Amino acid sequence: MNREKYQLKITAHELSIRPYFGFMPKIKVFAALSVLVFLVIPFTGSWLNYNIRYVLYGVGGIMLIYAIYDFLFNVNVTFLFDKKGRVIYRINAPFFKKQLMSFEEMTIINISQEPGTMEYAIGQKDKQFVKNYSISDTFTNSKKSNAREKQYVEQVLDPILEFVKSE
């Protein structure tokens, strides 16, 4: 379940993970709603106030821009663990490939952006709190979230750690 959500792929020499791929349903909903706004509003005729019509156009435009931004800059982000070079890359598919750190420098940390929430991130050992990269969803203290976290650790995080430690 989590492997598909995070698009985890393991081969003999590479491990790749797309931690933000779970945003795809939200992006599809926002894109569909914005298209619906732009298709329906022109046919509302005179029964919809002029100001409300343009407010709805604005909301539809914002949702469309948000969906495009998330698609280009979040969903397409891939973290590639290259065993040959023992290096971790961040790949943003249409734009660039950036070397982040070596396997020896990598550490996994728990970061909290809001009270009561936690997510897993990778960072360099000496700069882990300055620059880190989230590799999981946000988890809370609820029973359902604890079960999702346990499943994430078993199906995604443990294989990453095993891959990095293996020769």
How confident is the model over 21-45, as pLDDT tens digits?
888 899 999 999 999 999 988 887 7
- Which residue(s) pair with 155 in the sheet? none
**Would you say residue 3 has pLDDT above 70?**
no
Q: Give residue 88's pLDDT.
A: 93
β-sheet with 9-10: strand ranges across: 9-10, 14-17, 77-82, 87-92, 96-102
pLDDT at 63: 94
pLDDT-derived band at 49 (thresholds 50, 70, 90) equals confident
Q: Which amino acid is at 141?
A: N
Strands 96-102 and 87-92: antiparallel
Residue 59 has pLDDT above 90, yes or no: yes
Name the H helices within the chain: 2-5, 24-40, 50-70, 143-152, 158-165
- Mean pLDDT value across the chain: 87
Query: What is the Cα–Cα distance from 78 to 167, expressed in whole angstroms?
Result: 22
Res. 1 pLDDT band, cuts 50 70 90: low
What is the Cα–Cα distance from 86 to 103, expressed in whole angstroms? 5
- Does this model's pTM top 0.75? My answer is yes
- Please state, for a pLDDT cut of 70, what percent of the chain lies above it: 98
* Residues contacting residue 61 through CB under 8 Å, at least 6 positions apart: 34
